[in-house]
Amino acid sequence: MDKTTLKQLIDQAAGRQAADMVIKNAKVVDVYNGRIIEGTLAIGNGRFLGISDDYLAPKVIDARGQYVVPGLIDPHIHIESANVSPAVFGSLVTPHGTTTILADPHEIVNVAGMRGLEYMVASAKKTALDIKYTMPSCVPTANPTLETSGAVITAAEIQDSYDRNLTYGLAEFMNYPGVVNADDGVLDELLVSLNANKLIDGHSPALNEQGLNAYAAAGIRNDHECTQVDEMLDRISRGMYVYLRYGTVSKNMSTLLKGVTPQNARFCCLCGDDLQSVTLRETGHLDESIRVAIANGIDPIMAIQMATINTAQCTGLADRGGIAPGLKADFLLVDDLEQFSVNQTFINGQKVAASGEYLLTTEDSVTGFDDLLQTVHLDTFTAHQLKLNLTSDKAHVIGLQSISRTQNLVLPVAHTADGDFQYHPDEDIAKVAVVERHHLTGNVGVGLLNGFGIKNGAIATSIGHDSHNLVVVGTNDADDMVVAIEALKESQGGGVAVQDGQVITTLPFVIGGLMSNEPIDTLIEHQKAFNAICHDKLHVTAHFDPTMKLGAMPLDVIPNLRITDKGLVDVTKFEIIDINA
């Protein structure tokens, strides 16, 4: 801001100069005092000027008793989970009142490194949504001996992202054992961010006592992986903010709300983490989180605080989060705080969404980033690469009994004379494999999966958190699983379902194998059709989203048993284990 702009802001706030716009008959949500102020709200040069009936402006909006709420801020979300570009993502969430997000692009960065980050930054400039990126801290996610990623991010790349003003802070530090053990490379990444006074996001499932003390002492001041109230309270007592997650799959918020009190609510924020496009379009974003919080007994203004001022203070966004003189004029209009149905959304004082629709043109392309359309690199794939060597009557099997965490089950399994797994339709155990797609290593990790429900076919996806190698599950190696992998190579990413050797449905994600370049309505219809076929014809467990659930199987920082291109990973020990039990 220059001196002329500052003088104009002061003159307008003082009433010596007309405001640009006033909103009369407004009920302004005061998130600082937890109250409602009725009056006229003035805006000038994209910033709030104050509340006074004496303000004049050439543009007048009659709120007719509507509530004016600060713009909603999501402190932790992965755009790629919606399978759309940042520009399209903005058109999805702004109608729901979201005006700022802190996005962690570690999906595309795991695939394409700094090139992926540069694409995300370029696309973000094409939406009114204020997107601030955090630099992926763990690429690969944990120890490189456990999986193969498309890129490697070190302290040098993190510093480069700060120097070029590409990122706002350091994204979730998923390698929590590396933090607790003070690994040398981890210290370098932390110091780059600490010395630059940057935000560092947390990710510390299962940490407690001294381990959690060490994690917090490293300068990490938030966590979104709490699933139980005691975990939340442990973190708050250590001065950490807790992000209450309400995603498409992981919905920990309802449980955690039981621990929210007037005394600790200021350390609680709402976040989405992973949300699919269909969820955002049909259910909502942070507006839905607010509705759920209120339904669970949270005071409406407290719920709003958890999506606005708390988040702004946690993340250091001092220029937003409330309705106060000098802050960014990001706000929304709602008729009723408890129903919290967003009528209009404004960013920098400009209307960007109304009646559930984005009002601006969504312009997006991958021009200049054509290399991101060719990211599935794979030699001819054969059934031999899927063979298991079972020497015991029992095996370690990935269990899907939990919503987010898997189980390390030891189950009896049948095998052929040469040791390969023998599928039985009466038992919900199928073969699962992760196929490396970045560097032509030929790596294939093969294991067994319980609880997915699949019968007579295969499903494969190029989404495999977080290194995003190909993941396939199936009941027949040669006829279905191999066909599914080859189909993904041909399409350059997305999802595919195969039955009796024939592709029966596909889901194209050509940008990095993660995001679609289709119009949003087309994408959503494709996702619905894909899921329906997977459920109806392949009998995938009814409440599972096939690609989201399958894509989480390689996530080797969430307990307990996972699979990567290197094999089965015991996350509690961070080591590869033999499938034989």
The reply to whether 107 and 58 lie within a common domain is: no
The amino acid occupying position 491 is: S
Distance in angstroms (rounded) separating the CA atoms of residues 195 and 174: 20
Residue 530 within a domain:
yes
| Unique residue bearing structure tokens 């716009």 | 21
pLDDT at 362 (0 to 100): 86
Taking the C-alpha atoms of residue 480 and residue 475, their distance in angstroms, rounded to an integer, is: 8
Q: Are residues 19 and 82 in the same domain?
A: no
**Residue 337 lies inside a defined structural domain of this protein:** no
- Are the CB atoms for 251 and 271 separated by under 8 Å? no
Same domain, 307 and 388: no
96 belongs to a structural domain: yes
pTM greater than 0.85 (yes/no): yes
* HEC secondary structure over 42-95: EEECCEEEEECCCCCCCEEEECCCCEEEECEEEEEECHHHHCCCHHHHHHHHHH
- Distance CA(306)–CA(259), nearest Å, equals 14
pLDDT confidence of residue 1: 87
- Give the strand order in the sheet containing 222-223: 222-223, 241-245, 268-271
The domain boundary, picked from 296, 321, 346, lies at 321
Q: Are residues 40 and 97 in the same domain?
A: no
Residue ranges of the chain with pLDDT lower than 50?
Answer: none
Helix (H) or strand (E) holding 410: strand 407-412
User: Do 155 and 192 share a domain, yes or no?
Assistant: yes
Listed residues 263, 296, 321: the one ending a domain: 321
Per the structure block, which two tokens stand in for 416? 């052929």
72, 54 Cβ separation under 8 angstroms? no
Question: Do residue 61 and residue 75 come from a single domain?
Answer: no
Q: Read off the pLDDT of residues 419-467 as tens digits, 9 standing for 90 and up.
A: 999 999 999 999 999 999 999 999 999 999 999 999 999 999 999 999 9
Residue 135's CB is within 10 A of a number of other CB atoms, namely: 29
The verdict on residue 174 lying in a domain is yes
Residue 276, token pair as written in the block: 């699919």
Question: In CATH, what number is assigned to the domain containing residue 147?
Answer: 3.20.20.140
Q: Is residue 523 part of a domain?
A: yes
Number of other residues whose CB lies within 10 A of the CB of residue 56: 12
Same domain? 148 vs 15: no
What the block records as the tokens of 544 is 């599972």
Q: What is the 3-class SS of 552-578, one letter each residue?
A: CCCCCCCCCEEEECCEEEECCCCEEEC
- Give the C-alpha separation, 54 to 258, whole Å: 44
Same domain, 9 and 52: yes
Tokens representing 428 are 């919900």
Over 181-246, what HEC string results? CCCHHHHHHHHHHHHCCCEECCCCCCCCHHHHHHHHHCCCCEECCCCCHHHHHHHHCCCCEEEEEC
Q: How many domains does the chain have?
A: 3
Identify the pLDDT of residue 169: 98
Distance CA 472, CA 41 (A): 55
Return the DSSP state at 16: S
Q: Is 539 part of any domain? A: yes
Residues 402 and 270 in one domain: no
322/330 Cα distance (integer angstroms): 9
For residue 340, being part of any structural domain is answered with no
Same domain, 96 and 40: no
Q: What is the CATH number of the domain that holds 37?
A: 2.30.40.10
Per the CB < 8 A criterion, the answer to whether 569 and 544 are in contact is no
Helices (H) and strands (E) counted in the chain, each on its own, are 17, 28
Amino acid present at 112: A
Name the residue range of residue 185's domain: 71-321
Are the beta carbons of 366 and 511 closer than 8 angstroms?
yes
Q: Are strands 331-334 and 342-347 parallel, antiparallel or unpaired?
A: antiparallel
pLDDT digits (tens, 9 = 90+) for 479-523: 899 999 999 999 999 999 999 999 999 999 999 999 999 999 999
Tokens 């759309």, located at residue: 84
What separation in angstroms does the CA of 356 have from each of 73, 277, 454? 18, 14, 37
Tokens for 422? 């023998």
Domain boundary at 65, 85, 114, which? 65
Q: Is 121 helix (H, G, I), strand (E, B) or coil?
A: helix
60 and 105 housed in the same domain: no
DSSP sequence for 319-376: T-SS--TTSB--EEEES-TTT--EEEEEETTEEEEETTEE-S------TT-GGGG---
Same domain, 395 and 497: yes
For 535, the token pair is 């459920």
* Angle subtended at Cα 247 by Cα 223 and Cα 361, rounded to the nearest 5 degrees: 110
Long-range contacts, 18-21 (Cβ 8 Å, 24+) = 18/56, 18/57, 18/58, 19/43, 19/44, 19/49, 19/55, 19/56, 19/57, 20/44, 20/45, 20/57, 20/58, 20/59, 20/349, 21/57, 21/58, 21/59, 21/60, 21/61, 21/349
Q: Does a structural domain hold residue 363?
A: no
Q: Is 380 exposed, middle or buried (0-12, 13-18, 19+ CB in 10 A)?
A: exposed
